[in-house]
Structure 1
Amino acid sequence: MSDSGRYPGHLTGDRSAASTPQALADRRELTFIAVERTRMPMVIVDPRQTDSPIVMANAAFLATTGYPIDEVIGHNCRFLQGRDTDPKAVDEIRRAIADQCTLSIELLNYRKDGSSFWNELFLSPVHDDDGQLIYFFASQLDVSERHHMQELQANKRLMLREIEHRAKNALALVQGIVRLSQADTVEEFSNRVQGRVDALSKAHTVLAEARWRDVPLDRLIRAEIELFSAGQVILHGPEIAIPAAQVQPLALVLHEVVSNAAHHGALSTDVGTLSIRWQSDQGWTCIELRESGGPPPANDRTFGFGMKIMDNIVRRQLRGSVAFDWQPDGLTSVLKLPEMMTP
């Protein structure tokens, strides 16, 4: 079939550019040939027919969408729409057709194989010599790469803000550790600060492994007790997720209990044990850390400052409560933390 047999007639351009009937006919013919052969995907829609079907589609359109010509000609362009196509964009296209307006818009379209692409659509009405609407001309441009780059830039900005936020939180915790830590000697002070900063570092590693999302409570506890044998530390409790923002403060609290048990309590001997149990109760997470089998505590002075740090963190940062029970067999610490379990 010749090029002239593939296209509808009555398409005109600027009247001043040509004045004779033959010149106008030649221009129509050349226009359709140009549309067919251009690398820009293009279709022509006939709004005078029911459901405004496509009456012409060039090779570039078929290549972009993956549809064969017999599934395009005679069909409305809505076959390009899919699950995530914005209904508002579709409404704008309908209004432009109804109002016979030019429109430029981006929307998500779908190929025949189901893959999606961002389509920069340019829609323009075509009128005959009498000013009557006869066609709509539509060109498509795959701008998926541009959207991808914009998304990467947006994610990069969000990531930078998140990193800045996390860095400030970590620095605030370290400043608090230095300010609150006390000791009789420089060496003792250094060791205590180092231990608490190490606890933060372990929590940071756990958060990185979880991609800064919720962290399983047992994973956080295991990071703190990894130096002790399995027989000395007993863990029991359901799966509970700790929100990322609460992981580092909670890690410091756990460190205070475990560190005290290791230096002064049950874990300072080979026969002592530390039992850590947790459960959820109506939006609260209760964590019990019970020492047994170690030397009996003479009083609470050995853990006095650690208790103050725990109380400060639990009340002010975690919005919970902490209680201590000194028994001859060892110390029991009970943490009650709100909204720590995710559904």
Structure 2
Amino acid sequence: MSLRSDLASVLLADTAAVRSKLDAISQTYGFALSDETASQSPEPYFDALDFTLSSRDKELIARVQQLDNAPLGITLTGPAYQDTPILYSNKTFRSWVQYELAELCGNNPRLLQGPKTSDEPRADFREALSIWEPVTVEIHNYRNDGTVFTNRVSLTPIPDESGTIANWVAIQAPID
């Protein structure tokens, strides 16, 4: 497996398997798990959302928080029918894009697109969202200061307990 797929597996795992997956990933890839979930909740940032988070959303957010120090960026979004709002992005991702969590929460990841973002990867995202399938694309994104970077994004659907796709996770890294 790869770091990308291992990180996504944490969000796809049942609750009982999460701790062992987190520990294995941090040991295999050499990064510390964040203990921030115990000391700081992102709750103030949720005021930007125009809907109430489910207990499943909160559980997934807590998982991503523990991966704040992962070497890849992780962004958790809500469902496509709500325009896939960002629910949480790990610190690694936020440092790359130079956005604070409060600036990201509630916004669609299109926030990172701009004039040099080509249509092809956007079309690939739209198709994946419409057919509930994973996709990996390279896309030109923009940091908060306006600088362009090429981002390799692996988008994975996350089903809820009933099997319905309720969230999406993007595992990403700048490649230039």
TM-score, normalised relative to structure 1: 0.35
Gaps of 5+ in 2: 1-35, 44-52
Does the residue aligned with 1:91 lie in a helix, a strand or coil?
helix
| Matches of 2:92 and 2:114, distance apart in 1 | 21
Instruction: Please tell me whether the aligned partners of residues 61 and 88 of structure 2 are also in contact (alpha carbons under 8 angstroms).
Output: no
1:78 has 2:110 as partner = yes
Measured after TM superposition, the shift of residue 143 of structure 1 is 0.4
Instruction: Please tell me whether the aligned partners of residues 140 and 150 of structure 2 are also in contact (alpha carbons under 8 angstroms).
Output: yes
Query: In terms of Rg, which structure is larger?
Result: 1
Corresponding position of 1:88: 120
| Matches of 1:36 and 1:97, distance apart in 2 | 25
Measured after TM superposition, the shift of residue 75 of structure 1 is 0.1
Does the residue aligned with 2:122 lie in a helix, a strand or coil?
helix
User: What is the aligned residue count?
Assistant: 128
* Higher relative contact order structure (alpha carbons within 8 Å, sequence separation ≥ 6): 2
Corresponding position of 1:210: none
Instruction: Please tell me whether the aligned partners of residues 141 and 150 of structure 2 are also in contact (alpha carbons under 8 angstroms).
Output: yes
1:230-309 to 2 correspondences below 5 Å: none
Instruction: Please tell me whether the aligned partners of residues 74 and 89 of structure 2 are also in contact (alpha carbons under 8 angstroms).
Output: yes
Aligned-residue identity in percent: 24
Corresponding position of 2:154: 122
Q: CA RMSD in A?
A: 2.3
| Matches of 2:78 and 2:62, distance apart in 1 | 20
**49 and 88 in structure 1: CA distance in 2 versus 1, 3 angstrom threshold:** same
| Matches of 1:55 and 1:109, distance apart in 2 | 19
Question: Deviation digits for residues 97-135 of structure 1, max 9, x if unmatched?
Answer: 111111011111111111111100000000122101111
| Matches of 1:45 and 1:29, distance apart in 2 | 10
TM-score, normalised relative to structure 2: 0.65
Gaps of 5+ in 1: 12-24, 145-343
| Matches of 1:63 and 1:50, distance apart in 2 | 26
Does the residue aligned with 2:93 lie in a helix, a strand or coil?
helix
**123 and 83 in structure 1: CA distance in 2 versus 1, 3 angstrom threshold:** same
Measured after TM superposition, the shift of residue 34 of structure 1 is 3.1
